[in-house]
Chains A and B, each alone.
Chain A
């Protein structure tokens, strides 16, 4: 009797699961075209970029034999490599000169160790004329740095086509001359601060957006449609101009002899104006301004679905207006709060132009450095490592968010 019941229950469950799976398959078919588009135009290029964070082909392409031998060599012994490696290196370097490989090697190594550019280029120039019994003597007589283990370990860690070097650097670690991974000295650490700053600024911006946006969205949701449409257009108005224009407008407004300071000086609040821009304040103001509509829209869409009748019900049950709001209305808008917070946070994490224009040197976010490495230093590997870390951080956060909102209840925007 009992067994029959259990098996009955189990088969019922599997039936339910099968029915649900059919529904899911149908749903997936609907998103298939978009998914294909994303795969080809978005995911594959991004994947390629992410792979760049782990590849380092310069030395193994330009100096193939020397790179292969260096990979076997152990710097931990404290000895420079033997004559064979010196000789192979010199021959590979000489062979790379016609295709300008030497300068690529020079540039690549200079990233790991400043000064390597001149060393390599100088060595490549003097290879044919230098005198000496062995290649070791010849190289050391070109530059004494060839006699140091550190120089060769720099080469060794650039010799493999696969590398963790970019991530090591992006996490503010480095390799000492024996090849051990150690923390960067205090003064040279950079990216940890950048990531912390990115998180702090994004969090501040999304909290400010929520605090400012919640009352506005509430107001809009409570208004009859003919008025709320007008206000909604006003909320959406900023979307009609480009971010660049809006940000520049803030520069005009906030600069030391700008509109706001002029007003404050006129009113006698201050004598020579406040520093409102090129600092954290300016970044928060401008980013909040740009992200606020997103927060308002996602809050509004949830609030529109929460009838005011619940507040009435709570009051008829004896709760005062404040209590009725916080216990009957506010909890029902939490999905909107979570979505708005998440949306503004994610957008803020990726913001680049606004902080670059209105922020000071210590207000630049991770994306600034990524862009910098892509456009200026051309260190795409490091840019990729930084970008991946940002992406993973956001994905982790999103996973937590989905967990907290109960999995299925996650809706963004």
Chain B
């Protein structure tokens, strides 16, 4: 698979003191949907802006299709961009907004009209061509912003939290539509979001940012199942973290001694060695309770502190191994309804369902 964008040792500082982006190396593959995910202030927008040409890298270079673009102004990069605030020109109608990039590129009028129509059809907004942006709802504006970023057929589209301002239902619908457009058109999308659910469902690969460093770059399932480090484990999905010391290493994993007694068998993340401290990342849905728990590699006994009803599943907050916010997620299948607050129950999980991380 060919590479469309590569960041090579890119650094960025705004004030000359702190690096907002520290030594970024990232290859974006042609046609992929890559998401930058990370807490606020971790440098995602900065990366996007450097790629779009509104910020210059303090150090290192960015290659677009193999050519360095540090000196190319934004208008000549041919990169589509969807802004968080949509940035539809308020003094132009929807059709004029869409025609703007075509007019700039001197596309003949009749062809431009055709392409505007096609772009509107792509986002199911054919009947809104003559509206002004102020007369559209947030979701509709968002679609027009996407259509405008795509109408001039760029090979690469950047989206900076495009769905941030929408309510949950609309956001899910738009996630689906953006995904559909991506699959139909075969373009490369670099997508920035806060929302890990969004990142998981839409992306081919996710780059998890923290403090200007990519903590892990992997497909969603790998990110979830095999987090590289404790930050990723904590940031992606729910997580029980048990701290301890590695006492044994073997082919399939390791054994971690917990300070409150007992040991846990787990798979080992990178950098784990005998004697090192490790945090065990354990997903709440990998835990079995009651009868089934006793067949697991790791079995513990704990008290039920709280029960939270979610409809399709139950969350049991327990005290296990000295942790008083140990969360277990069990399906609401009738069997588990018998658990009561104050009960003492067995919990268990398999060694490959948890991961010792540095």
Contacts and interface: CB of A to CB of B under 8 A. Distances in A.
Interface of A: 307, 309-310, 312-321, 323-324, 327-328, 331-332
Given A314-B100, A323-B104, 17 more contacts: A307-B85, A307-B87, A309-B85, A310-B87, A312-B54, A312-B81, A313-B89, A315-B74, A316-B53, A317-B100, A317-B104, A318-B101, A318-B104, A319-B101, A319-B104, A321-B73, A332-B91
A331 B83 CA distance: 20
B105 A318 contact: yes
Contacts of A321: 73, 75
B52 A316 contact: yes
Given A307-B85, A332-B91, A316 B79 contact: yes
B120 to A, nearest CB: 16
Interface in B43-93: 52-54, 73-76, 78-81, 83, 85, 87-91
Interface residues of B, number: 25
B326 interface: no
B349 interface: no
Interface of B: 52-54, 73-76, 78-81, 83, 85, 87-91, 100-101, 104-105, 148-149, 152
Given A313-B81, A314-B100, A320 B75 contact: yes
Chain A interface, DSSP helix/strand/loop, else mixed: helix
Contacts of B101: 317-319
Contacts, number: 63
Interface centre among A313, A320, A321 (most CB of B within 10 A): A313
B89 A316 contact: no
Nearest to A332: B91
B152 A317 contact: yes
A318 B101 CA distance: 6
Q: Which of A317, A331, A332 has the most CB of B within 10 A?
A: A317
A309 B85 CA distance: 9
A23 B88 CA distance: 30
A315 B76 CA distance: 9
A315 B73 CA distance: 9
B89 to A, nearest CB: 6
B80 A316 contact: yes
30 contacts: A307-B85, A307-B87, A309-B85, A310-B87, A310-B89, A312-B52, A312-B74, A313-B81, A313-B83, A313-B88, A314-B100, A315-B73, A316-B52, A316-B53, A316-B149, A317-B104, A317-B148, A317-B152, A318-B76, A318-B101, A319-B101, A319-B104, A320-B73, A320-B75, A321-B75, A323-B104, A324-B75, A327-B89, A331-B91, A332-B90
